[in-house]
A and B are shown apart, each in its own frame.
Chain A
Amino acid sequence: MSSIAATAGSSDHGHSAHGEDRLALLKAVPFWSTDHKVIGIQFLLTTILMLMVGGALALGVRWQLSFPWENMPILGALFANAGGQVSPEFYTMLFTMHATVMIFLVIIPVLAGAFGNFLIPLMIGADDMAFPILNALSYWIMWPAAFCFAASMVFNDGLGPNAGPAAGWTSYPALSAIPEAAPGSGWAQFWWLLGVTLVGVSSMMGSVNYMTTIINMRAPGLTLFRMPMTIWGMFITAILQAFALPVLTAAGFMLMADRVFGTCFFVPSGLVVNNAAPTVGGGQTLLWQHLFWFYSHPAVYIMVLPAMGMVSDMLSCMCRKPLFGYKPMVYSLAAIAGLGFIVWGHHMFISGMNPALGMTFMVSTIMIALPSAVKVFNWIGTIWGGRPVFNVVFLNCVAFISMFIVGGLSGIFMAAVPVDIYIHDTYFIVAHFHYVLFGATLFGVFGAIQFWYPKMFGRYMSEGWGKLHFFLSFAGFNGTFFPMHLLGVAGMPRRYADPYLYPYLEHLLPLNQFMTLSACVMGFAQFILIGNIILSWFFGKKAGRNPWNANGLEWTAPSPPGHGNFDIPPIVYRGPYEYSHPDRESDFWPQTEPPEAPKPVPQQDPEPAPA
């Protein structure tokens, strides 16, 4: 912990007077506040809560896969009746809601909602978002959405094996469009769709807000190519959201209408479902898949681009070295986003899509590895020749790179259509997306929590506990998800409540049990994270304005920043990655430091009286 440890402590003392401020930010959390920092923290705490909910649902899934049809402890007693046994309907509901919670209430809101909100104004030197009220709404609308999801779990027969949406998070019709097709999903599916629409509205509000803020409210001197990668990531994510999400919202309305008003966009006529009368209709089910993936493929990049941005910033700071290839990094981010719009069909290779489309989508999908490759190599290049500090932030960032490579490479297998014929809808897919979603994004988020925590609360998080959390998460994660590749190759289909019905899968049971064990380790490791977050509020080492000796604008504001963020309006003179400049004494060069400064001042900290 060379240079960081050396200087970080020095600014501690000046800010002990901020104690009052620090709590003020937190105290606002349960209430309506339009301050972007409060909203960011609200989002962060909510998503961590939801991570536990989604994780508990995942553990339910894992239970059934390793101890099929045995009574489930804890969760079983709570939810499933029939003596705690997981019924097939309940299993379907478990993985549907697991994915829903993780994607719509954890990953998307933690990136765009929590870090987007907290960081965008601070990193561009603005005092708040462009539309603070809209911003607050975009948080509070999460709760009705969460309520809808909860309602979708308890509707119909109440908490029970027959309740809940039963069509997976992809919600393919006709299963999702015809109530008779999934007995018990009656209103549940409707509530689910309503919930998705509401999170959609929330993200849409957020994205318009972020775009406006980033375009129009940058501090003087902060040109586009001086923006930190985090901001680029958030900006491009917002663009993706803005242009892809409305399509899903529209499709969601169509599906809702199919269920409720008797329309038939996704229901062909003449289907005999569950011995009911043949359907009256005329629509096409594939239309939903196209519209859904037109959003949800860009959405997977929504779930990773901000993390890529944050990792770039953290890596550069932790290695005390400029980001390797800043412009290629920006362009590749944009290229991923652009290509991301034209690859959605790779989820539909074997869905009866026109084969010519299949080929087109294969080529575009494989080519998306190119900008990703540029990013990976540039991250490695950033560490190369740097002076890394092996702290929790850095470890999580390295894990991000390492895991993203695995998840990305498995993406190539699936992008190759002939191979996808075999591995589609097997656990290979499940492995792939957990590697990118948890392995990459969540580790990035863990790092980001550690990194910006001092800015949020004015205190450091514990390094020791952080490392333990990292170690257990990493080991548990790989223990859970690496074997899924092998299950996939062995042909184990996903969304199976009982794969062992098939002789050729029987011998995979022990492996599955090992994975469940690892999942428990990983799951319980998250308690360490939560403990670390809570305890550090009270006992963490106090941090000054710039605990990591970083260059970004956010570090020139007090920790935690008061309302309006900056006590001195920042003016930007350079990019955010001028670490270890050979002509300077200190190994960092804040963006706001005027170039004509007669003597390099190591610690730029004018100690203004707190407001």
Chain B
Amino acid sequence: MSHEHHPPALKMGLPIPNAKLGMWLFLGTEIMFFTAFIGSYIVLYFGSVDANGRSAWPTDTHVTHINILAGGLNTFILIVSSYFVVVAHEAMTLKDFVKARKFLWMTFALACVFLGIKSYEYYGKIHYDILPGHIPETAEQSVHKFQNNLSDTLDRKLNDLIPGDAPLHVKQLEVPTALQDAEGERLIQLKAYSALHSEFLKIREAISADKLSMEQAKVKLKQLQENDTYGHIVSGLRVYDPIVYGNLFSSTYFLMTGFHAIHVIVGMLLFGAALAVGTSLDEKWTDWVENSGLYWHFVDLVWIFLFPLLYIIPGNIGQ
């Protein structure tokens, strides 16, 4: 690490160790890194206008599945962990390494909790398919997405029923013969499949003729789901409402929180290194803990800004 060769009296430069100075400079670069993300987000937010020239950013938390309480909880968790880090560092300077380890462990654990809550939020997004590139932005795209999802479901079912490597259209041709040979549960399944498939063909035709509006698609899907024979196959399907600028929204959301999460993981690695030495943690690690702590506080700082910008403000401004 730092070489202190010259007698301190003759030392030029700043009265702080190289490692700490380097960490601060690195944090400066990190600020610019997140500035690019956050700045892009802010300008894109305002720049995503509709015909009225106003920002049409999706802000409704029901639509975006932004969970303000989860975000708030995560803010709280990071603050607690930041606090634990200072306590741990203080313990290090006081040579109370047992206490330092205890608090480092707690920080580490809190980081895990943070990531857990984050994954829960991600899971919600994935569940509602709020993923970049997946979101319909017009009613037309919604209907198409419905068609694609239905078709995928059918394909999956077909593959279940007729295993093998043959291409789908070949399997499709085998369905009538399979129907004749089948009996019992398999027969029921096959019947359900082919009934659904013929429904699908009608739907597809209607869509390509532009005759199925989104509302009609919803009704149609409901009918399908209520059907006794094949309702269970499509029970998981949904006609997704379009979200204008939803793709851009989810792009920025995942970008910012994703890179923040990567930073959290890096922080965990830093603490993990100090924890990995176990009971032999000693004053040689004080600088390490201090600098990892600085880094960790920075991660906290980023979140402190992400929380209002991503969660609170959009969630309230739209109404």
Contact = CB atoms under 8 A, between A and B. Distances in A.
A and B touch in the complex (CB under 8 A): yes
A97 B1 CA distance: 38
B141 A216 contact: no
Interface string A283-302: 11001000100000000000
A261 B29 contact: no
A126 B13 CA distance: 12
Contacts of A571: 10
B43 A287 contact: yes
A262 B131 contact: yes
Contacts of A569: 5-6
A131 interface: yes
Interface stretch (B18-26, B78-86, B263-271): B18-26
A263 B6 contact: no
A264 interface: yes
Contacts of B29: 204, 207-208, 242-243, 245-246
A223 B251 CA distance: 48
B247 interface: yes
Interface in B127-146: 131-135, 137, 141
Nearest to B133: A262
Interface in B247-271: 247-248, 250-252, 254-255, 259
B14 interface: yes
Interface in A431-467: none
Interface stretch (A98-106, A157-165, A247-255): A247-255
B276 interface: no
A263 B47 CA distance: 17
Interface string B27-43: 01110111111001001
A201 to B, nearest CB: 11
Interface in A196-247: 204, 207-209, 211-213, 215-223, 242-247
A280 interface: yes
B13 A264 contact: no
A336 B150 CA distance: 60
B247 A264 contact: yes
B319 interface: no
B18 A280 contact: no
Contact of A130 (B2, B12, B35): B2
Contacts of B14: 215-216
A16 interface: no
B12 A247 contact: no
B178 interface: no
Contact of A220 (B1, B11, B251, B254): B11
A265 B12 contact: no
Report the contact-size class of chain B (Cβ under 8 Å from the partner). Answer: 35 or more
B22 A281 contact: no
B255 A257 contact: yes
Interface in B277-306: none
Nearest to B34: A250
A571 B11 CA distance: 11
B35 A247 contact: yes
| Majority DSSP secondary structure for residues of B touching A | helix
Nearest to B6: A220
Contacts of A269: 137, 247
B98 interface: no
A128 interface: yes
Given A222-B12, A264-B251, A212 B25 contact: yes
B245 interface: yes
A282 B133 contact: no
How big is chain A's contact interface, by range? 35 or more
A127 B13 CA distance: 16
Contacts of B3: 126-128, 130, 217
Contact of B245 (A204, A212, A265, A282): A282
B256 to A, nearest CB: 10
Contacts of A128: 3
Given A250-B37, A282-B48, A209 B22 contact: yes
A28 to B, nearest CB: 19
A265 B33 contact: no
A215 B13 contact: yes
B44 interface: yes
Contact of A287 (B28, B40, B254): B40
A42 to B, nearest CB: 21
Contacts of A246: 29-30, 32-33, 35-36
B13 A218 contact: yes
Given A215-B13, A262-B132, A280-B247, A254 B255 contact: yes
B12 A220 contact: yes
Contact of A243 (B28, B37, B247, B259): B28
B55 to A, nearest CB: 12
A474 to B, nearest CB: 38
A131 to B, nearest CB: 6
Contacts of B2: 130
B247 A281 contact: yes
Given A216-B13, A254-B255, A280 B36 contact: no
Contacts of B48: 282
Nearest to A244: B32
B54 to A, nearest CB: 15
Contacts of B26: 208
B32 A223 contact: no
A253 B252 CA distance: 12
Nearest to B47: A284
A131 B18 contact: yes
Contacts of A212: 18, 21-22, 25
Nearest to A261: B132
10 contacts: A127-B5, A130-B3, A208-B26, A211-B25, A219-B6, A243-B32, A257-B251, A263-B132, A264-B251, A269-B137
Given A208-B22, A265-B248, 4 more contacts: A219-B6, A243-B29, A244-B32, A280-B137
